[in-house]
Structure 1
């Protein structure tokens, strides 16, 4: 298994495809790993820990089959190996309760998924600029 710069959990196959394309436009050297449900996310994270692979950033959809984004967030924050990895909830929900819960569970940020491909690219540029260029890395 290769290193992973960004670990993304997204059950919408079309959105995952757009994300992969948009990320290539932002930074074509980033390694993006995508899984499509919560159970697979937990399994993959456990394998990452076993292989000593630590993503630089984790993006989680909120509503996932198997385990929810909040369940995965809780799993991440309870695991000392991943505790310092920034986690962004990346969801279509703009429900204040979802946002509040995400922050309470330890998300570093909550972003509403942008509409349209160009807006996604712009959003990813901002994410990349902050988390990969400006943020003081802990891991």
Structure 2
């Protein structure tokens, strides 16, 4: 049985993914993170979660992925009724307004530009945690 993480993070930059795991643990020791390193792996992992009837509480999705792009992964997520109420946040180095607009039109719940520096990442993750895990009401 595949247990879902609190945060399912799709990120091809191994170093950033590693640092993100530490940042999440620094914000809340109880949060779990699972990482897929490309779009194909993300879709396969989401299929396993669906098969096991387990949902992550939040999906963070990099825009620029090898193979299947983040936007294509987002489209696929939005086509799966099982994930209808799982918030998906695009988390990218891009701050291009067209990327933001397209992501939101496809169904992203938010678009965040990755912060630079560990302290700024902690602040960002803390904000995500406070809103999506503490304040937001979900039916997940």
Measured against the shorter chain, the TM-score band is over 0.9
Please say if residues 104 and 111 of structure 2, whose CA atoms lie closer than 8 Å, have aligned partners that are also in contact: yes
What does 1:17-96 correspond to in 2, within 5 Å?
A: 17-96=18-97
Q: CA deviation at 1:91?
A: 0.1
Please say if residues 100 and 111 of structure 2, whose CA atoms lie closer than 8 Å, have aligned partners that are also in contact: yes
Q: What secondary structure does 2:128 align onto?
A: helix
Aligned pair count?
139
Please say if residues 4 and 53 of structure 1, whose CA atoms lie closer than 8 Å, have aligned partners that are also in contact: no
Aligned equivalents of 1:48, 1:23: Cα separation in 2: 21
Q: What secondary structure does 1:104 align onto?
A: helix
Aligned equivalents of 2:129, 2:96: Cα separation in 1: 25
Please say if residues 20 and 32 of structure 1, whose CA atoms lie closer than 8 Å, have aligned partners that are also in contact: yes
Moved over 2 A (4+): none
Aligned equivalents of 2:4, 2:103: Cα separation in 1: 26
Aligned equivalents of 1:62, 1:121: Cα separation in 2: 20
Please say if residues 3 and 49 of structure 2, whose CA atoms lie closer than 8 Å, have aligned partners that are also in contact: no
Please say if residues 114 and 123 of structure 1, whose CA atoms lie closer than 8 Å, have aligned partners that are also in contact: yes
Structure 1 unaligned spans of 5+: none
| TM-score normalised by L of structure 2 | 0.97
Q: CA deviation at 1:3?
A: 2.7
What does 1:59-138 correspond to in 2, within 5 Å?
A: 59-138=60-139
Please say if residues 10 and 39 of structure 2, whose CA atoms lie closer than 8 Å, have aligned partners that are also in contact: yes
1:64-116 alpha-carbon deviations (Å, 9 max, x no partner) = 01211111111111110001100000000001100000000000000000000
Q: CA deviation at 1:138?
A: 2.1
